[in-house]
Homo-oligomer: A and B are copies of this chain.
């Protein structure tokens, strides 16, 4: 059966396009608080699970050994715009472990932000791996290896000790079995594992609440969430949705996007986590979905509630600035 329409894109008085998907909110015990669509479907979390993948960096003691603060930890969990500040922090993370851009195995690409791309085109010949949106995560990976005395070479490989450690961490958090059977290769070349959307949400709820986690992991989880919420620019960048969500509710909302229409979020003080997947992979729909789902947990009249409802609807303006339509969460999600 098809998932419900969760987002409508209007033009004039009509709906022009429709996005379907699944949405789930769970508490720290995994109890389903809200759900729409097939939340058991195996879903590649892609970059939405970077905070999970960053746990070894903190748990190993590497983050402390290299003196990483909120910015470095936020960048380790980020899919950033490749803005100058992002690149500088990634480079400094590597430098503290005695490494440089040569250690990164993620490949390079131009920024996905048009404004940043124009700046990049005017100031450099071509992007390096430091400009890759995943360079913070990869810098964290290299630091984790170096601190543990493991050769970082080949750290993107399925059988490298780092990926084994990440796999075990994610299995424990999501309750899903990860292996070759549900493994794909991510844009930055590391393995990504398809897990039920419900397991993904539960993993983030465990991180947000500490429920059922060893003290070391509970503390590391909280530290990563706090770092992202304290430095939301370093989780994404100028104009980006993750950054906007966290800036709207400082210290109260954690949010992280992933490619192909995935978005994860948590409200630590309510012990709630949310995961959404837009069937067709469109980011505009995942953004509207996660904002509308988050809005369900705040008073409509509060600044956060109103701000989330606002973020759940985007006005579209054409090249002359004329309002031509909206991207809006469907009633099934927003009511």
Contacts and interface: CB of A to CB of B under 8 A. Distances in A.
A250 interface: no
Given A14-B42, A18-B279, A319 B189 contact: yes
Copies of this chain per assembly: 2
A114 interface: yes
A261 B17 contact: yes
A163 to B, nearest CB: 15
Given A121-B121, A318-B107, A20 B17 contact: no
A182 to B, nearest CB: 7
A17 B318 contact: no
A278 B17 CA distance: 8
Contacts of A303: none
A324 B280 contact: no
Contacts of A12: 183-185
Contacts of A20: 2, 20, 280
A279 B319 contact: no
Nearest to A111: B114
A240 to B, nearest CB: 18
Contact of A319 (B109, B285, B322): B109
Given A107-B320, A110-B114, A318-B107, A281 B17 contact: yes
Contact of A107 (B187, B194, B319): B319
**Residue of A18, A42, A188, A320 with most partner-chain B CB within 10 A:** A320
Given A107-B319, A319-B106, A281 B122 contact: no
B14 A322 contact: no
A216 B320 CA distance: 35
Contacts of A42: 14
Contacts of A252: none
A178 interface: no
Contacts of A183: 12
A9 interface: yes
Contacts of A185: 11-12, 318, 322, 324
A117 B115 CA distance: 11
Contacts of A260: 9, 11, 16-17
Given A117-B121, A280-B19, A280-B285, A11 B184 contact: yes
A219 interface: no
Contacts of A285: 280
Interface in A6-54: 9, 11-14, 16-20, 42, 44
26 contacts: A2-B20, A11-B192, A11-B194, A11-B260, A12-B183, A12-B185, A13-B184, A16-B184, A16-B260, A16-B281, A17-B261, A17-B278, A20-B20, A105-B320, A109-B319, A118-B121, A121-B121, A132-B319, A185-B324, A186-B324, A187-B318, A187-B324, A188-B319, A189-B319, A279-B280, A280-B282
